Structure 1
Amino acid sequence: MQSLAKILISARWPLAAMGLLVLMVCYPISQRLTMDRRVSSLFSQTDPTLVDYQSFKSAFGGNEIILVVYRDDELATTEGMDRSRIFSQQIRQLPGVAAVLSPAILNDAVKLLNPISLFKADSSVPALIRDDDPVADGLDEIFSGYTHSADHTRAAVVVMLQSFDEATTESHHAVADRLNALTETWQQNHPVSEISLVGEPVLIHDAHTLIQRDGAQLALWTVSLLSLVVLISLWDLRFVALTGLCIVWSVVATRAAMVGLGISLSLIASILTAIVTVIAVASILHLGVRFRRMRWRGHTISESVDRSLTGLLKPILWTCLTDAAGFAALLASGILPVRQFGVMIAVSALAVLLSIALFAPALMSIQGFGFRETSHRGRTRVARRLRRICFFVANRFVAHRVGVMLGSACFALLAIVLVARSETETSFLKNFRSSSRIVIDYSRVETDLGGAGVWDVVLDAPAELTPEYIDQVLALEQALREIDVDGATISKAISAADAVEVLGRSRALSLLPVPVRLAGMRDRLPAFINALISEPDLDGRRQFRIMLRSKEALPAEQKRMLIQRVNETVLQHVARWNDSAQSTESGSYVTGYYVIMARLVEQLIRDQWRCFAASIVLIWILMLMATRSVRYATAALLPNLLPVFVVLAFTASLGEKTNMGAAMIAAVSVGLSIDGSVHFLAGYRRRRVHGHSPETSASHAAAEIGVPVLLATIALVVGFSVLSTSEFVPTATFGTLVAATMATGTLINLTLLPATVSWWDQGDGTS
């Protein structure tokens, strides 16, 4: 590395100029990077879950739905229905809205479907609420839990947004913003209260808004705190400038590379700046501490730059490569944004390495940016004390290394058992704080409308529906309602079959065949019927939809079992239909937002250990290449597997469930925590080459890396801890666990790592 360092130093100004030129070229490209807010962006295009979901969207128009729920104690009066009608009309006029369904629209449909009943009842009572009308009573029962509550004190406007062919995802979120503004006006000008907005677009919109805000906040705090730490610890503006320039260059270059690779930003991509800061500052602090030590020993600036780069280029190279490998291991995930996130951070780690090579020689060579030597002496005394403490602690652990390693192994086994017993959080709603508006809104829907979990059963149907088919669907719906998984049930199961059955309760309408009754419903409620029955395909087959409702906030195992029981029940009924049918066999599938989000988190949990294994293999190979020793590579890697298990075991022991934020920690943590190990091994091997014993080499190497590692860890822990206040729980979890993992990793690098390496090193170390 000495020759490379000399090349970088001799060409420092052309390299810096080239770096600035690249920055200017990449910046406009980086601004073209977009955010992909679609749910489909969370899955691979070949994922069966996504294939079913997209088939469902294609068959039924692709309309996203937002539910506007409000309290109106006068809903069961003509005044309440008039308000519902006004609200429905105002929402329908909003750009991006395809159709609406509300109590007022149902009320008008009852009048048209069964006009004779109007002459039999008190005209002051809305047609939908009349007990003496079997059609009204049936529709009231069907839509209870969708457009209104059973006690008629809650009303809902079901808002169907334009399909993806007519509007982009961004416009869906614009509709959500307009609805928010409109509902605020309602509450001020009408006797309604507790207005809530729920639905997939609202959840995704709020999640992205919170994550983008958190990403900006994390970037600001992390960059500010770490720049302050660099300034205080090194007291040199050159390294503050180097830190800022490396971060900006790496982020811009990474974003430009993502544009070139066709990768969009996703839910987890907003922490790019923070991760880049972590990688950059860790390396720059090592450079700064080495540079300061050389200056304190009397070397000139040019000599200090030469010695610092010569000694640290190789460790910095391997730390950036191991960081890249840890994140590249996320490519083993089945979740598309996770894979893209892994590529993004791997590229950013390489960008940090390149930025240091471009700018460090030039900035470190600038004269006159240091501060007074009196304060420098004080910091040197503090640094010496820290090194002595690190030496003493490492020496004690090295002296008792066998007992330390046995104790660590037992502790690791206990941690693995605790992690294996941890539960998974599958409710996307639990990704928000209990005090956030979205949780409050969904809780109202859970309580008043029978559950916020919305999903669907899709069945094959003949081109012309028959009474026998309607009876089969009604029997399936009843079987679905009877499912009970330790209290978790299907609170609602409705379809067009229910509408046909309700019309049959009228003496006059019961004489009409099923297709005619269905045509009447389609004429009165086109948005509802079209959302439940698809148009016939080329073979004359239709898709028939059963809308399900269940509780969203269910434990992971209950939710998994409920989805499984629904699948089993549907398959059993379809199998019986096929056995008795003389025509083409029918198919079915269960899908919907409720299902795909539950499977998303399950996939993340399964993937984390596959990614963890991939990161272990990749990092071990890199460590083997760096050290050219199986013993050193293995001895350095094994202690760094402990932090993730310790942190996850601790959270599991507190009863915390594994969410999306915790699911990525395993693979990422190894790459981040092993940075200190790379620098430790560089110092350790240097001393072994000079003939020192394993024990002495390990203790002194730990003391040498102690100051920069401790300084970087303190700043990074504080920086990532800022995320713990996020309203988006996975972001808060990720920040907290990264902070805890890095703190644990630093402790292990200064204690267990010296003990392990010195025990494992049985050679003379001179090769």
Structure 2
Amino acid sequence: MQTLIRYAIQGRFVLSVIGLLLLVVAYPASARLQTDQSVQALFGDEDPTIRQYHQLKRWFGNDEILVLVYRDGKLDSTEGIERSRRLTERIQTLPGVSAVLSPWVLNQAIEGISNIQLPFGLGSTDSGSLPRLMQADDPIGSGLNDIFTGYTHSANYSHAAVVVMIDESQVSEAVAEIRKVSRQWEQEPDVSQVALIGEPVLVNQAFSLVERDGNRLAMTTIVLLSMVLIVSLLDLRLVVLLSLIIGWTIVMTKATMYWIGIELSLIASILTAIVTVIAVTAVLHLGVRYQGRRRRGLTQQEATFSVMSVMGWPIFWTCMTDAAGFAALWFSEILPVRQFGLMVALASVSVFVAILLFSPLCFLIPELALGSGRFSHHQSLTRWMRRVCFRLSSWFVRHRWLTTAITLGLIAVTVFVVADAETETSFLSNFRDDSAIVNDYGIVENNLGGAGVWDLVVEVDHPITSEQLAKVRTLEQELLDQLGPIGLSKAISIADATEVIGRSATGKWLPAALRIEAMRTRLPSFIDALVSEPLADQPDRQKLRVMLRSPEGLPADQKRELMSRTLSMAQLHVGRWGGAADDVAVSGYYVIMTRLVDQLVNDQWKCFIAAAGLIWLLMSIATQSLRRATAALVPNLLPAFLVLATVSLGGGTINMGAAMIAAVSVGLSIDGSVHLLMVYRRRRDVGRNATESAVSAAGNIGAPVLLATLALVAGFSVLATSEFVPTATFGTLVAWTLIIGTLINLSVLPALVTIGDK
């Protein structure tokens, strides 16, 4: 390492130019890196849940669904239907909108169907004083009213909804345009409580908030760290160095991701924050030790060579253990988590490269005279921190066996608590209760039934017979009867639509195929979304879709039970029809989001074990001691599980932000352990005893570790105010993990490392 550092100092101008040229080359590619704002992107294409979802799209169309809801006290009048018409026609003209369903569209369909005399002859032409949709004595109107109550209007006609089908390739543009329409619609007379809901809205809002929070975290953390560097060390060169390391690492990492064809995802916005965690610790260690050597009278070049020679290996192993910890996320089943792990692993290695490229030049820039008290100010601060760390570590080293017993006991208890913790599967719960989007969903939940929409798909014979449709209606009714008490509020299929046709005098004699076509002429998009074309590989078979509705905010266990029982009941019915279990599937965003958090929680154990194993292996190589590597790993298991157990015991649930903490925290807290063990090893190599070496090591690393933790905790705490709950949870838990990890590295680790070391 000393030879490498010597060449780096001698060629510092060349290295810096190379680094800047690489930055210039990579920047355009990093700027072209795109973000995939879709829930489907959270899993790989081979995932069973996503395969089912893609099949659903292939069978019934690729459109996404948005719902614009508003209160209209005159909906059951000509004026209310006219208002629905104006809103419907306005939305129909927007780019990306492929179809619209509303009370006016239904009323028009009823008028059209009822006016047909031949060949179907499905009703009279008397419309009465009420809109046909609201006429209880109209067989067609009352039938469609029963079907679409809770979808296009409320049961008491106080709220109306426009169900918008949009092309999945234009989701972002369509959501933005419909938002504008909804804001303008609020100004309409006799209209209130305008709300826009739908999975595309939730996901779009989540990405916007996460991106905003990521940028805010990056800016806040960098500013705070710069202030810490200036106030504590009074050295602007360290601010320049930190900015170069962070900027170069981010650009090179994003460019590499672009070159290998990987897109960003929902969790990628915290990249800057993670890079900052790694970079600031390294810079503060370098800065504190550099100034210590300058106070002892070394020249700039001597101090730079000495510091980088001593700190080269600790910083290298810190970056490598960070890379290993995040690379363990590759064991996750969730594609963006794997990609994020790869991205941060690349960034961790890039931090070390950036330090080699820019540190020699920055440290050898002429020093600015910032006052005669420059070193004395820093010396007083670092001496105070050293004394605190000496006293803290000394107490724990003296009580090493008690410390070990308590640490192992806490790990066992917290792992048990976390394993039994409840997960949060409602994507809506990712937003704060007072946010606009939660209020919008509340309007729908309270007035139109559950806002959670999902699908049951069954396979039937082609062409469909009336007997087959009767069996589907029997299945629907049984689902509602048995699962209604636990959350299933609505079920709609092509069987319901054709049953409405059968209520008329002529329609009841028509075969099922003609009934379907009669409905298709009036509601083509809706019918196409319920029944597929004959299957390509089985022309005598086709798929039917049963659209299900349940509350969005159901508890996780209740959601799982609802989906499991729906699937098992449908498989039982299809088995009676002569079909197979594979002919039945449940799918939709509701299912995907439930699976997502469950998978995150399940994956955290695999990733955590992998991270622990990889880091233990690297620490064994770095310290050349299996015992020391084990001593370093044990206390680093504790911070994440301690904060997660606290969340669980406090009545909280494990959401997306909390589920990633276990694996990530090992990489966050291991930095201090690496530096302490490297200093401990040097002390032991020169003949000091284990107790003295451990206490001395804790005091040696105390100032930079405490300064870095102070700034990083303040930076991550900014996320606690985020509207997106997983981000707020992640920021809060990371802050506490950093605090606990720092305290453990300065107290428990010195005690553990001395056990058995003679």
Q: Which residue, out of 631, 635, 641, partners 1:635?
A: 631
Which residue in 2 is equivalent to 1:765?
Answer: none
The secondary structure found in structure 2 opposite 1:37 is coil
RMSD of aligned Cα (Å): 1.4
Mapping 1:173-184, distance limit 5 Å: 173-184=172-183
Measured against aligned partners, the alpha-carbon deviations of 1:412-443 in whole angstroms (never above 9, x if no partner) come to 22222221221100000000111111111111
Which residue in 2 is equivalent to 1:712?
Answer: 708
Is residue 459–residue 586 contact of structure 1 (8 Å, CA) maintained in 2? no
Which residue in 2 is equivalent to 1:303?
Answer: 302
Quote how far apart the aligned CAs of 1:119 are: 5.1
Which residue in 1 is equivalent to 2:91?
Answer: 91
Which residue in 2 is equivalent to 1:78?
Answer: 78
Q: Which amino acid aligns with 1:150?
A: A
Tell me the distance in 2 between the aligned counterparts of 1:406 and 1:160.
60
Which residue in 2 is equivalent to 1:743?
Answer: 739
Which residue in 2 is equivalent to 1:569?
Answer: 569
Q: Which residue, out of 684, 694, 700, partners 1:698?
A: 694
Q: Please tell me whether residue 523 in structure 1 is matched to residue 499 in structure 2.
A: no
Which residue in 2 is equivalent to 1:510?
Answer: 508
The secondary structure found in structure 1 opposite 2:676 is helix
Is residue 232–residue 381 contact of structure 2 (8 Å, CA) maintained in 1? no
Quote how far apart the aligned CAs of 1:370 are: 4.9
Relative to structure 1, the CA distance from residue 758 to residue 352 in structure 2 (aligned partners, 3 Å threshold; closer, same or farther) is same
Q: Please tell me whether residue 155 in structure 1 is matched to residue 174 in structure 2.
A: no
Q: Which amino acid aligns with 1:180?
A: R
Which residue in 1 is equivalent to 2:487?
Answer: 489
The secondary structure found in structure 2 opposite 1:114 is helix
Measured against aligned partners, the alpha-carbon deviations of 1:584-634 in whole angstroms (never above 9, x if no partner) come to 998121111111110011111100110000000110011011111111111
Q: Which residue, out of 641, 663, 666, partners 1:667?
A: 663
Is residue 49–residue 596 contact of structure 1 (8 Å, CA) maintained in 2? yes
Quote how far apart the aligned CAs of 1:650 are: 1.1
Quote how far apart the aligned CAs of 1:275 are: 1.2
Is residue 411–residue 638 contact of structure 2 (8 Å, CA) maintained in 1? yes
Which residue in 1 is equivalent to 2:148?
Answer: 143
Measured against aligned partners, the alpha-carbon deviations of 1:38-81 in whole angstroms (never above 9, x if no partner) come to 22211011000000000000111111010111110100001000
Tell me the distance in 2 between the aligned counterparts of 1:642 and 1:303.
40
Answer with 716-725 or 128-137: which moved more: 128-137
Answer with 614-623 or 176-185: which moved more: 176-185
Identity %: 51
Which residue in 1 is equivalent to 2:119?
Answer: none
Which residue in 2 is equivalent to 1:392?
Answer: 391
Structure 2 unpaired stretches of 5+ = 116-121
Is residue 571–residue 581 contact of structure 2 (8 Å, CA) maintained in 1? no
Ranges of 4+ aligned residues in structure 1 off by more than 6 Å: none
Q: How many residues align?
A: 750
Is residue 632–residue 761 contact of structure 1 (8 Å, CA) maintained in 2? no
Measured against aligned partners, the alpha-carbon deviations of 1:170-197 in whole angstroms (never above 9, x if no partner) come to x211111111111222221332111111
Q: Please tell me whether residue 649 in structure 1 is matched to residue 645 in structure 2.
A: yes
Tell me the distance in 2 between the aligned counterparts of 1:256 and 1:470.
55
Relative to structure 1, the CA distance from residue 46 to residue 370 in structure 2 (aligned partners, 3 Å threshold; closer, same or farther) is farther
The secondary structure found in structure 2 opposite 1:67 is strand
Q: Please tell me whether residue 552 in structure 1 is matched to residue 552 in structure 2.
A: yes
Is residue 305–residue 364 contact of structure 1 (8 Å, CA) maintained in 2? yes
Which residue in 2 is equivalent to 1:44?
Answer: 44
Tell me the distance in 2 between the aligned counterparts of 1:128 and 1:494.
17
Which residue in 1 is equivalent to 2:498?
Answer: 500
Is residue 331–residue 339 contact of structure 1 (8 Å, CA) maintained in 2? yes
Which residue in 1 is equivalent to 2:64?
Answer: 64
Tell me the distance in 2 between the aligned counterparts of 1:121 and 1:48.
49
Tell me the distance in 2 between the aligned counterparts of 1:483 and 1:585.
20
Is residue 113–residue 123 contact of structure 2 (8 Å, CA) maintained in 1? no
Quote how far apart the aligned CAs of 1:109 are: 1.1
Tell me the distance in 1 between the aligned counterparts of 2:289 and 2:659.
37
Quote how far apart the aligned CAs of 1:462 are: 2.3
Tell me the distance in 2 between the aligned counterparts of 1:288 and 1:375.
14
Q: Which amino acid aligns with 2:332?
A: S
Is residue 99–residue 161 contact of structure 1 (8 Å, CA) maintained in 2? yes
Tell me the distance in 2 between the aligned counterparts of 1:507 and 1:77.
27
Quote how far apart the aligned CAs of 1:368 are: 2.3
Tell me the distance in 2 between the aligned counterparts of 1:272 and 1:585.
43
Is residue 36–residue 266 contact of structure 1 (8 Å, CA) maintained in 2? yes
Is residue 283–residue 316 contact of structure 1 (8 Å, CA) maintained in 2? yes
Which residue in 2 is equivalent to 1:292?
Answer: 291
Tell me the distance in 1 between the aligned counterparts of 2:468 and 2:551.
29
Which residue in 1 is equivalent to 2:721?
Answer: 725
Quote how far apart the aligned CAs of 1:746 are: 0.2
Tell me the distance in 1 between the aligned counterparts of 2:487 and 2:622.
57
Is residue 487–residue 554 contact of structure 2 (8 Å, CA) maintained in 1? no
Tell me the distance in 2 between the aligned counterparts of 1:421 and 1:577.
40
Q: Which amino acid aligns with 2:251?
A: V
Is residue 140–residue 500 contact of structure 2 (8 Å, CA) maintained in 1? yes
Is residue 323–residue 345 contact of structure 2 (8 Å, CA) maintained in 1? yes
Q: Please tell me whether residue 189 in structure 1 is matched to residue 169 in structure 2.
A: no
Relative to structure 1, the CA distance from residue 712 to residue 200 in structure 2 (aligned partners, 3 Å threshold; closer, same or farther) is same
Tell me the distance in 1 between the aligned counterparts of 2:592 and 2:369.
56
Which residue in 2 is equivalent to 1:419?
Answer: 418
Measured against aligned partners, the alpha-carbon deviations of 1:283-342 in whole angstroms (never above 9, x if no partner) come to 000000000000011111111001100100000000011111111110010000000110
